[in-house]
């Protein structure tokens, strides 16, 4: 059962980039409209169970929880704006790999905050960011537009890291349903303001456009992320993090199969470097946690 859910989860999140690129390329749907409806529908779906069980939970949100949720929502809104726009400028494979650097950025943010990582994490970061240099270098030689798309995807990865860190702070005391409803709802509101400023419509699309928005929301937001949230209850976070990295080759394969996307060999090498580097980072962080637990147990044994 876990293997099936993992496969469904990978397929769901890996389909996000190809589905967004196909929807933007074949319909009149705007980038910010996809971000708006994806979060608005997600908020409505997540609010249902909370309202049915105990709607008073929303009234118990503290000022600190609200501020961290708002910070996460703003970062998520800007993440979607950067990532979805990047899919109009660069390849699906490159955009997905670059935005998936969020675990690398989180490790880097932790270093700036004084956290000391083991050497495998530092090696993994070097490999992953070497892959970024490889991809952007090849795209620089291809077109300035592709390079801009790469930079937007990198910014999307940074913002995803900030969203994760802020959400982690909020989730220390908030339930999943309340947090996701609040975060997705505020994210949708921020995106609506961005759409108003950028004069991007949020409605009035043809049937194919609405179908694309629905497919993106169901596959990536509801099926993909829900599958991984369930797996966290039965599998180690380290293993789940490793499985999620399969989104990178998964998106590249789907884009090649359904969008006939072909890339230079050097770009594929960059994708591989990012995948390997992030895997080393995740494994290195996992070994650091194990080492800390062992040290804590030894300390406890010494005080008994």
54-66 tens-digit pLDDT: 888 999 999 999 9
Q: What is residue 199's DSSP assignment?
A: T
Distance between CA atoms of residues 132 and 134, nearest Å: 5
Distance between CA atoms of residues 62 and 55, nearest Å: 15
- As for how many domains the chain has, the answer is 1
Chain-centroid distance of CA 301 in Å reads 40
Please, what is the average pLDDT of the chain? 87
Segment 180-202, tens digit of pLDDT: 999 999 999 999 999 999 999 99
% of the chain surpassing 90 pLDDT: 54
Question: In the predicted model, is pLDDT for residue 216 greater than 50?
Answer: yes
The whole-number pLDDT of residue 64 equals 94
The whole-number pLDDT of residue 74 equals 97
Question: In the predicted model, is pLDDT for residue 31 greater than 70?
Answer: yes
Question: Of 289, 272, 288, whose CA–CA distance to 100 is shortest?
Answer: 272
Cβ 132 vs Cβ 270: under 8 Å: yes
Distance between CA atoms of residues 92 and 261, nearest Å: 8
- Residue-by-residue DSSP string for 48-112: HHHHHH-GGGGGG--HHHHHHHHHHHHHHHHHHHHHHHHTTTS-HHHHHHHHTTHHHHHHHHHHH
Least confident window among 68-72, 119-123, 170-174, 286-290 = 286-290
Q: Residues near 97 by Cβ (< 8 Å), separated by ≥ 6?
A: 131, 135, 248, 251, 252, 270, 271, 274, 275
- Cα dist from 125 to 128, 135, 139, 278, whole Å: 5, 15, 21, 7
- Cα dist from 27 to 12, 193, 194, 202, 212, whole Å: 21, 22, 20, 13, 9
For 299, the domain range is 2-303
The whole-number pLDDT of residue 5 equals 86
The whole-number pLDDT of residue 11 equals 93
| 3 state DSSP class of 203 | coil
Torsion of CA 284, 290, 293, 298, to 10 degrees: -110
The whole-number pLDDT of residue 141 equals 65
- How many residues are there in the chain? 304
Cβ 63 vs Cβ 119: under 8 Å: no
Segment 232-256, tens digit of pLDDT: 667 766 677 788 888 899 999 999 9
Question: In the predicted model, is pLDDT for residue 48 greater than 60?
Answer: yes
Residue 231 φ then ψ, to 5° = -65, -30
Distance between CA atoms of residues 297 and 280, nearest Å: 26
Cβ 126 vs Cβ 56: under 8 Å: no
Question: In the predicted model, is pLDDT for residue 134 greater than 90?
Answer: no
Q: Residues near 226 by Cβ (< 8 Å), separated by ≥ 6?
A: none
The whole-number pLDDT of residue 299 equals 30
The whole-number pLDDT of residue 302 equals 37
Question: In the predicted model, is pLDDT for residue 291 greater than 70?
Answer: no
Higher model confidence: residue 283 or residue 195?
Answer: 195
Cβ 249 vs Cβ 271: under 8 Å: yes
| 3 state DSSP class of 14 | helix
Q: How many CB atoms lie within 10 A of CB 175?
A: 14
């Amino acid at each position: 059962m876990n293997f099936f859910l993992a496969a469904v989860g990978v397929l769901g999140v890996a389909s996000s980039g190809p589905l967004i690129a196909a929807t933007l390329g074949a319909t009149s749907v705007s980038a910010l409209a996809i971000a708006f409806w994806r979060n608005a529908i997600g908020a409505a779906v997540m609010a249902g169970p909370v309202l049915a069980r105990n709607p008073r939970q929303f009234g118990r949100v503290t000022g600190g929880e609200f501020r961290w949720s708002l910070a996460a929502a703003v970062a998520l809104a800007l993440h979607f704006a950067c990532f979805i726009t990047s899919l109009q400028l660069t390849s699906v494979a490159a955009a997905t790999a670059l935005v998936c650097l969020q675990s690398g950025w989180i490790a880097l943010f932790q270093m700036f905050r004084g956290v000391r990582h083991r050497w495998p994490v530092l090696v993994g970061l070097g490999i992953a960011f070497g892959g970024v240099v490889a991809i952007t270098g090849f795209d620089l030689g291809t077109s300035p537009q592709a390079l801009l798309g790469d930079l937007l995807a990198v910014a999307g990865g940074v913002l995803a890291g900030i969203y994760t860190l802020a959400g982690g702070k909020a989730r220390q005391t908030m339930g999943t349903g309340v947090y996701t409803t609040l975060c997705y709802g505020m994210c949708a509101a921020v995106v609506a303001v961005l759409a108003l400023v950028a004069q991007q419509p949020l409605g009035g699309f043809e049937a194919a456009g609405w179908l694309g928005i629905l497919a993106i929301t169901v596959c990536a937001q509801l099926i993909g992320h829900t599958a991984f949230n369930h797996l966290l209850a039965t599998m180690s976070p380290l293993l789940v993090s490793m499985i999620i990295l399969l989104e990178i080759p998964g998106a590249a394969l789907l884009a090649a199969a359904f969008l006939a996307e072909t890339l230079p060999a050097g770009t594929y090498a960059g994708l591989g470097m990012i995948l390997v580097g992030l895997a080393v980072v995740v494994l290195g962080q996992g070994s650091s946690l194990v080492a800390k637990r062992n040290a804590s147990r030894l300390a406890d044994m010494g005080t008994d």
